[in-house]
Structure 1
Amino acid sequence: MIVGVGIDVVDVARFGESLERTPRLLERLFTPAERTLSLNSLAARFAAKEALAKAIGAPVGLNWQDAEVVSGADRRPHLKYAGTVAERVAELGIRTVHLSLSHDAGIASAVVVCEGEAP
């Protein structure tokens, strides 16, 4: 059963300007491993975190670093979560989180679909 769906798009140049204007934003939004990536990849990962937040109802107090985009053995992106995000995922009964990322023509996008057991 689909528990939640989220989608987000990010203008890569505008996102880069935000990171330059507010250097601490990089630390607030991304894990140490994510911080080493290119601007396109960072924008896509930010879109993924926003899409995940939408899919789980954007609860107050969600910590951005409690969700991390990682590449699996299959080279596809996956969301790894802990803390505030893991708590909300468990609360909603989510068993599987699907993630798709893209970046092209100055835009990064992400779609998240959360699946769980029927009530």
Structure 2
Amino acid sequence: MIVGIGVDVVDLARFTRAVGRTPRLVDRLFTPAERDLPVHSLAARFAAKEALMKALGDTEGVRWHDMEIVSDAEGNPEFVLSGVAARIAAGRGIGSLHLSMTHDAGVACAFVVAERGA
């Protein structure tokens, strides 16, 4: 059963300018494993984290590092949750998160579906 959905869009030029003006932004938003990716991939991951927060519903106390995007065995993106984000997901009975990300034509977009159960 779907218990939450979230979508977010990021303007690539604006995101690139923000990272250029504030280099520490990358450290604040992304885990060490995510930081060395190209800026368009970082923008998609930022959109994914925003979309996840929408899908979770309650995000009080969630930190950016509580949400990491990794690749599964087939190369598909998936979340690894920790901290408050993991507790919220467990508390809502979320057993599966589905993530789709893209970047094209100057935008990055992500869509998240949260399902109850395993």
- Which TM-score bucket, shorter chain as reference? over 0.9
Contact persistence 2:59–2:85 (CA under 8 A): no
Runs (5+) with no aligned partner, structure 2: none
State the Cα distance separating 1:19 from its structure 2 match: 1.0
1:43 aligned residue? 43
1:25 aligned residue? 25
1:112 aligned residue? 112
Q: How many residues align?
A: 117
Aligned equivalents of 1:39 and 1:59: distance in 2? 25
State the Cα distance separating 1:58 from its structure 2 match: 4.4
2:75 aligned residue? 75
State the Cα distance separating 1:24 from its structure 2 match: 1.5
Deviations 1:7-66 (A, max 9, x none): 000001100111111222111100011100001100000000000000011422110011
Look up the equivalent residue of 1:64 and give its one-letter code: W
For 2:101, what is the secondary structure of its paired residue?
strand
Contact persistence 2:58–2:88 (CA under 8 A): no
Aligned equivalents of 2:58 and 2:110: distance in 1? 16
Structure 2 length as normaliser, TM-score?
A: 0.96
The alignment's C-alpha RMSD in Å is 0.9
* 2:42 is equivalent to residue 52 of structure 1: no
Aligned equivalents of 2:78 and 2:46: distance in 1? 13
1:103 aligned residue? 103
Runs (5+) with no aligned partner, structure 1: none
Identify the range of structure 1 (40-49 vs 53-62) with the bigger mean alpha-carbon deviation: 53-62
1:12 aligned residue? 12
Structure 1 length as normaliser, TM-score?
A: 0.95
Look up the equivalent residue of 1:7 and give its one-letter code: V
* Percent sequence identity over aligned pairs: 56
